[in-house]
Amino acid sequence: MSATALGSVLTLDRAGIAALIPHSGTMCLLARLVAWDMHHIVCAATNHRDADHPLRTRRGLLAPAAIEYAAQAMALHGALIGQATGAPATPGYLASARGVQLSVLRLDDLPIVAPDELRIEATRQAGDARQILYAFTVHHADRLLAEGRAAVVLNTPLAA
């Protein structure tokens, strides 16, 4: 289970991703790591049409689920940085999503095109030992479905 830097051949699949992030079973939404470096990550997901998708409602898989796809890519990014630097990854929590723009209502009824997958990208914009700010996009084929910024608060002890 290893992944290499952006532009290199990558070998991290869904099982490898699930071993690195706190999401398991069907809640691990990412299918594979496409590429990454210390500031950027690209992942793919293929489960957006699944009838048993854990975020699916009676109306389908609504577009705000794209934020969770992006959050999982961010979590994976943090774990990969931890592996690369030899530092343990610090668990984080999605604190806010801002400036989110959604261009579709649902993710499960997109036109079927090859490859029929979501492409999730996250770029670290700023951060320190307590929080990280990412910009993210989610695409299907060449169509932008969602974009925004997300703040991740790391699990650090509060000052007394």
pLDDT digits (tens, 9 = 90+) for 118-151: 999 999 999 888 899 999 999 999 999 999 999 9
Give Cα separations from 72 to 11, 112, 113, 114, 159 (angstroms): 18, 24, 24, 23, 28
Domain ranges within the chain, ordered by starting residue: 14-154
What DSSP state is assigned to residue 27?
G
What is 94-151 written as a DSSP string?
EEEEEEEEES-SBSTTSPP-SS--EEEEEEEEEE-SSEEEEEEEEEETTEEEEEEEEE
pLDDT digits 0-9 by tens, 58-96? 999 999 999 999 999 999 999 999 889 888 777 888 999
Q: Is the pLDDT of residue 16 over 60?
A: yes
CATH of 14-154, one of 3.90.1300.10, 3.10.129.10, 3.40.50.300, 1.10.760.10: 3.10.129.10
Q: Flag the least confident range among 5-9, 67-71, 73-77, 155-159.
A: 5-9
